[in-house]
A and B are shown apart, each in its own frame.
Chain A
Amino acid sequence: MGLARLLICISTAVRKQFNNSPFPNIVHAMHIAVCIKQVPDSAQIRVHPVTNTIMRQGVPAIVNPFDLFALEEALRTKDQSGAHITVLTMGPPQAEDALRKCLSYGADRAILITDKVFSGADTLATSYVLASALRTLDAQQPLDLIFTGKQTIDGDTAQVGPGIAIRLGYQLLTYVSAIRDLDADARQIFVERRAEGGVQVLQSTLPAVITMLEGANEMRFADMPGMFRAARQEVERWDREAAGIEDIKQVGLKGSPTAVAQVFGPKPRAVKAVRIEGETPAAQAEAFVERLFADFPQLEDALLEHLDQLADLGAKS
Chain B
Amino acid sequence: MSDALDSAKPIKKPKRVLPEHFKSYTGVWVFIEHERGHAHPVSWELLGKGRQLADSLGVTLAGVILGGTDDGVRALTDEAIAYGADRCYLMQSEVLADYRNQPYTAGMTTLVNTYQPEVLLLGATTQGRDLAGSVATTLLTGLTADCTGLEIDMSDRSLLSSRPTFGGSLMCTIVNLATRPQMATVRPRVMPMPERDATRSGEVVTHALDLTEDSVVTKLVDFIPDARADKPQLAFADFIVSGGRGLGKPENFDKVFDLAKVLGAEVGASRPAVHAGWVDPERQVGQSGKTVRPKFYLAAGISGAVQHRVGMEGADVIAAINLDAKAPIFDVANYALVGNALELLPALRDAFERRLAAARARRAAAPATADTGEHA
Contacts and interface: CB of A to CB of B under 8 A. Distances in A.
Contacts of B76: none
A66 B17 CA distance: 37
Contact of A262 (B9, B100, B179, B310): B9
Given A264-B9, A281-B343, A291-B335, A158 B129 contact: yes
A281 B347 contact: yes
B166 to A, nearest CB: 5
B133 A261 contact: no
Interface in B304-357: 306-307, 310, 313, 316-320, 330-340, 343-344, 346-348, 350-352, 355-356
Interface stretch (B54-62, B218-226, B245-253): B218-226
Given A65-B287, A65-B288, A317-B228, A174 B126 contact: yes
Nearest to B143: A159
B160 A43 contact: no
B172 interface: yes
Nearest to A167: B137
Contacts, number: 314
Contacts of A267: 3-4, 7
A153 B134 contact: no
B65 to A, nearest CB: 16
A262 B338 contact: no
B167 interface: yes
B373 interface: no
Interface residues of B, number: 116
B136 A197 contact: no
B337 A284 contact: yes
Nearest to A298: B295
Contacts of B350: 282, 285
Nearest to A194: B126
A159 B236 contact: no
Interface stretch (A103-111, A234-242, A304-312): A304-312
B319 A288 contact: yes
Most buried by B among A175, A292, A309: A292
B217 interface: yes
A167 B139 CA distance: 11
Nearest to B145: A157
B35 interface: yes
A257 B220 contact: no
A258 B142 contact: yes
A17 B4 CA distance: 54
Contact of A317 (B178, B227, B319): B227
B223 A199 contact: yes
B173 interface: yes
Contact of B171 (A161, A265, A299, A313): A265
Contacts of A317: 227-228
Nearest to A218: B281
Given A259-B177, A261-B160, A310-B264, A197 B290 contact: no
Interface string A162-180: 1101110001111100000
28 contacts: A42-B306, A43-B306, A47-B170, A54-B166, A124-B143, A156-B163, A156-B165, A160-B133, A162-B133, A166-B105, A172-B101, A175-B126, A198-B35, A200-B99, A200-B220, A202-B100, A202-B221, A214-B290, A258-B144, A261-B12, A262-B172, A267-B7, A269-B331, A274-B336, A281-B344, A303-B264, A306-B238, A317-B228
